[in-house]
Amino acid sequence: MVVLIGFLVVYGATYRAASPAPLSQPTPPPITPAPEPPPAPLPPPAPSGASGIRGLVTIGPTCPVVREGMQCDDQPYSAKLIVTRAGGAIVARVTSGADGRYEIKVPPGTYEIGPEAGDILRWPTAPPQPVTVRSGTFTIVDISFDSGIR
């Protein structure tokens, strides 16, 4: 729509254009994301004698602007993770599923688990976490990625 406001002079006569009425636009209703179903339960225990690390990988925040009353929970996240020993030697690699769950068998010992190097240098990012694995058990380590959304 084009609206011209001003004066027009034609052969000595002056005409004034009418001012348009202010435009009013309805305020859109707030957008509220549908609640996400709770994550699936952890997988059943590993066979007797197995040991390793399992957990849930999430990412958040996932909404650019969170308003009062708006729900914006962290979401499951599929990420490439590495398990390293002291000194940085890679022991194992795992990718969490679409539901954010992961499980990896490693022998008892002290490790760090975190994003692969390519994932740690850019958003989203997560810090490596220390973990101690005991014989015959899986240690639960949940990993939270920062999406970088502010």
- Write out pLDDT tens, residues 30-72: 555 556 655 555 555 555 679 999 999 999 988 887 778 888 8
Q: Would residue 126 count as lying in a domain?
A: yes
> Strands 7-10 and 109-115, how do they pair?
unpaired
- Give the total number of structural domains in the chain: 1
Q: Would residue 2 count as lying in a domain?
A: no
Q: Would residue 91 count as lying in a domain?
A: yes
Name residue 21's amino acid.
A
Query: pLDDT digits over 62-98, tens only?
Result: 888 777 888 889 999 999 999 999 888 999 999 999 9
Q: Which domain holds residue 121?
A: 52-146
Number of helices and strands in the chain (H, E) = 1, 11
CATH number for the domain spanning 75: value is: 2.60.40.10
Tokens standing for residue 7: 């004066």
121 vs 63: CA distance, rounded Å: 22
**For residues 75 and 62, is the Cβ–Cβ distance under 8 A?**
yes
Q: Look up the pTM and report it.
A: 0.66
Q: Would residue 86 count as lying in a domain?
A: yes
Q: Would residue 15 count as lying in a domain?
A: no
In the block, residue with structure tokens 């499951």: 76
